[in-house]
C-alpha cells in the first residue's frame, strides 16, 4: 500500500504545547482503535520513517536451476 492510498492524513494546522511530564491521552486514543486500525497505523509510520519503494517491498525470489545426473 502506498502512502497516497493510506486512510490517514496529517492535519498541519493543529498544534499544541505541553510539558514532557504532562499526562497524555495517546494511550486512551489508541485503545479506542481496533487492532486492525492500530496495525495500519504502524505500517503507515514505518513507511514514513523508512520510505516506501514498491520495487523492493516484496520478498526477493531466488530461482536456481539444478541439473541432475542421468542414471
Count of domains for the chain: 1
Predicted structure pTM score: 0.50
Residue-wise pLDDT for 12-56, tens only, equals: 787 878 888 888 888 899 999 999 999 988 988 888 888 777 666
Residue 56 lies in a domain: yes
Give the domain range for residue 49.
1-7+26-71
Quick check: is 16 in a domain? no
CA 8 to chain centre: 11
Amino acid at each position: 500500500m502506498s502512502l497516497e492510498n493510506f486512510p490517514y492524513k496529517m492535519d498541519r494546522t493543529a498544534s499544541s504545547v505541553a510539558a514532557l511530564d504532562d499526562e497524555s491521552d495517546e494511550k486512551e486514543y489508541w485503545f479506542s482503535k481496533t487492532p486492525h486500525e492500530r496495525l495500519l497505523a504502524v505500517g503507515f509510520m514505518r513507511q514514513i520513517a523508512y520510505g516506501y519503494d514498491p520495487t523492493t517491498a516484496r520478498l526477493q525470489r531466488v530461482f536456481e536451476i539444478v541439473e541432475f545426473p542421468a542414471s
